[in-house]
Structure 1
Amino acid sequence: MDLARLQHLNKARVLVVGDVMLDRYWLGDTGRISPEAPVPVVKVSSLEDKAGGAANVAKNVAHLDGKVGLLGLIGQDDIGQTLERILESENIHSQLVSVTGLPTIAKMRVISRHQQVVRLDLEETFTQAHSRLLLEKLQQVIDDYDYVLFSDYNKGALSAIQEMITVAKAAGKVVLVDPKSSDFSIYKGADFITPNLNEFKLAGGEVKSEEALTVSARKLLAEAGVDAMLLTRSEQGMSLISQTEKHHFAAQVREVSDVTGAGDTVIATLTTMLGAGMDAKDAVEVANIAAGIAVSKLGAATVTPEELSQKLGQYLIENGEHYQAPLDDVHQHIAFAKRNGERIVFTNGCFDILHAGHVKYLAQAKAMGDKLVVGLNNDESISRLKGADRPINPLDERAMVLSALASVDWVIPFGSEAEGDTPAELIAQLSPDILVKGGDYKVSEIAGAEHVLSTGGRVEVLDFLNGCSTSNIIKKAQATE
């Protein structure tokens, strides 16, 4: 597997076309039955709006650092405006077409104690004429992208998909389809389709044996005029099948919390990896890993490059490679995590020679929240603080070692003489929920503490592990020379 391609995820230029919708969640506690009917009363304490359907596919691509555009249909209503604001905040270049007389599709759920009490669907099916409006928009923007991903939820936006695929292929684009129709022939010309097992059976696929599955899959591909199929098989994993090859990938063993949106994650990851230059087999392998991560989360979850990197750790070790998010992307990743409701923990240091005390300290810091950001003094800063003979290890090597730890999500260099070699400015930019510092400090002495407290966060001081220090390690090494 060419893991160096993980460094080129932002090279993927993907246009998602399909049925967009808003996922709305009302969350609250319930403690009594309504006197009006035998139903629970939920006292709503919060409201969450998220991109759904094809918009969630685009969100998955964006969170993997792909450059993504989105075409879809919305109504002329508040829900459509809300969806557009969400997409803008997710770094998705959306060009949604608003139509009169029909609402923006919305799935509204009432959640209490982690259980869905009821779901309310607001939707009407879009017509062929509406779909042709998307076809016109596709023709206008197609040259800006290399991959076209059709996300079909059978809501009408892709009624003209045969013509859309023809336009995309004529423009030399790679086409992927997450199908909903049992007639795969409407996807003629696509490079990949990604049905789940139930969709495969409805289309005429046989599953009584592995041989029957493979034969029927190839028959369906030939009849439909599609090059390859990525068949997602739930707990049985997934299979990449073409007329000449078949590769099977076992399901990733993780605790399943929610399978919502797993298919979105699969096709978004596959497309992004192809766009980064991976071959199909490797791209599917990464997509399979991404699916395992996604189903371990609640709701329609996304996967980050850092999460993939951690899960791919064995490959990384075997190949002597390591993924580090490009610095320009780190701030965007942190913003995504915040919007997902994750608590950001920040700590900082030189970490010149990583030792047991550092590892324990970083694990304790991570346990206080969901994501850990480590501010790392640059080489010039360490020289000013520790002396001209430091650092022992240069910045790039220190960052690589730190980011390989399971407890560390992001590493960001800092340090300027004008700022007194403190991370105060970096902390102000990130506004973490929790600021952690190791050693014998008062909160008032910690750089950035005032900002964190002023934004409603908290500051924690942790003890270092006795007997562990970089200076002691250096002295011991010098004594043995």
Structure 2
Amino acid sequence: SKKLSKVGAVILSDYGKGTLLDAPTLIKLANKRKIPVFVDPKGEDFNKYKGAYAITPNFLEFSKVVGEVSSEKDLINKAQDLIKKLSLNVLLITRGQEGMTLFEKNKGKVVRTDFPTEAKDVFDVSGAGDTVIASLASGLASGLDLSDSVRLANIAAGIVVGKSGTASPSLAELSISLNAVDSVLSKNEVKDLVKEAKQDSKKIVFTNGCFDLLHVGHITYLEEAKKLGDRLVVALNSDTSVKKLKGAKRPINKLKDRAKQIAALDCVDWVTSFTEDTPLKLIKELEPDVLVKGKDYKVKDIAGSKEVLAKGGQVRTINLVKGISTTNLIRRIKDLD
């Protein structure tokens, strides 16, 4: 009981192995000190979790306790009944590809909110439940409101299921996902992500360019680049850098717009930028496994090729779609006038 005085939340993670024997006592002690208890439940008897602040069953676990769920209306009714029966404030049901469904008791009513999945790829769901409850509890204990805490949990779970084995999200991954409005990552953010990906034995592919007026040639090129590894980093020339290369009237699209377009492509993992004439400095810091440019370049002329090859990496050139370029697009648009 004394130890509870220094905590902001209590997590009871029930693995059904017989070690969590005093759940009711722990919940009672925490409630006396007004400390919220979060439970990741197991088994078909949820009565032992009565009085907890929140429980986070997956859909199968929920169905085993309340019976078959025949419709969304049935889901709502059974969720409301369970909240009432167990005196819960929050019921968060994880639903795999369907994301999460939050049921919150608010002023005597139960309010439902759905959170679509944040997962891009699903390699391993081990530890996803632990991630959800840890993120939810830490978010609320740190002062976030319930909605933001669930969003945090949803994003964190989406990150870990994209990794092999039991894993956890890094602070860099969470920060980037939570601030996804800004598509251009800083050099340090990309460095952290690349470092972690390499530790997970992922092959890093790097390419760069202006990518002004995104067209099918760009998309095809990036899709082919991604096939050469596991994670694709695209470094964009800054607006100033584009002007030096292409002239005073370029770029057509500013960096933030170009980045958002590139980041929206499924084949691209991370987008960053550089202000220099070439990305040589960035390549030296990231040390990609594969450096990629178009076939219009000779390997010896590609910035960073010497450094990548010296580290045991590869330098590859990719065929470009003939007849398609930003310059040609601009010319065609002008011809319409």
Which of the residues 279, 287, 295 maps onto 2:154? Answer: 287
Which of the residues 259, 266, 280 maps onto 1:424? Answer: 280
Identical residues among aligned pairs (%): 40
Question: More displaced, 381-390 or 459-468?
Answer: 381-390
Paired residues in the alignment total 325
1:442 matched to 2:298? The reply is yes
1:191 matched to 2:57? The reply is no
1:207 matched to 2:73? The reply is no
Cα distance in 2 for residues equivalent to 1:234 and 1:385: 47
Residue deviations 1:392-420, cap 9 Å, x none?
2221111111111222111111123xxxx
Cα distance in 2 for residues equivalent to 1:220 and 1:290: 24
What is the match of residue 203 of structure 2? Answer: 343
Contact 2:135-2:149 at 8 Å conserved across structures: no
What is the match of residue 231 of structure 2? Answer: 371
Change (3 A) 1:156 1:458: farther
Cα distance in 1 for residues equivalent to 2:326 and 2:250: 11
C-alpha displacement at 1:179, in angstroms?
2.1
Residue deviations 1:126-162, cap 9 Å, x none?
xxxxxx8xx83x654x46xxx7654333568866765
Change (3 A) 1:449 1:263: same
Change (3 A) 1:139 1:366: farther
Residue deviations 1:67-119, cap 9 Å, x none?
xxxxxxxxxxxxxxxxxxxxxxxxxxxxxxxxxxxxxxxxxxxxxxxxxxxxx
What is the match of residue 410 of structure 1? Answer: 270
Show the 5 A alignment for 1:346-365.
Answer: 346-365=206-225
Q: What secondary structure, in the 3-state scheme, does the structure 1 residue paired with 2:66 have?
A: coil
Change (3 A) 1:169 1:450: farther
What is the match of residue 127 of structure 2? Answer: 261
- Identify unmatched segments of 5+ residues in structure 1: 1-131, 310-320
Letter in 1 for 2:89: D
Cα distance in 2 for residues equivalent to 1:398 and 1:240: 35
Contact 2:39-2:56 at 8 Å conserved across structures: yes
Residue deviations 1:21-76, cap 9 Å, x none?
xxxxxxxxxxxxxxxxxxxxxxxxxxxxxxxxxxxxxxxxxxxxxxxxxxxxxxxx
**How does the TM-score come out when normalised to structure 2?**
0.73
Show the 5 A alignment for 1:33-432.
Answer: 136=3, 139-140=5-6, 142=7, 149-153=11-15, 163=26, 170=33, 175-180=37-42, 184=46, 186-196=48-58, 199-200=61-62, 204-207=65-68, 217-232=79-94, 239-242=101-104, 244-245=109-110, 247=112, 259-267=125-133, 280=147, 283=150, 287=154, 299-300=165-166, 322=181, 324=183, 326-327=185-186, 328-416=188-276, 421-432=277-288
Contact 1:184-1:220 at 8 Å conserved across structures: no
Q: What secondary structure, in the 3-state scheme, does the structure 2 residue paired with 1:347 have?
A: strand
- Identify unmatched segments of 5+ residues in structure 2: none
Contact 1:257-1:297 at 8 Å conserved across structures: yes
Residue deviations 1:231-277, cap 9 Å, x none?
34679986544553364869989998655334345446666887896
Cα distance in 1 for residues equivalent to 2:320 and 2:26: 64
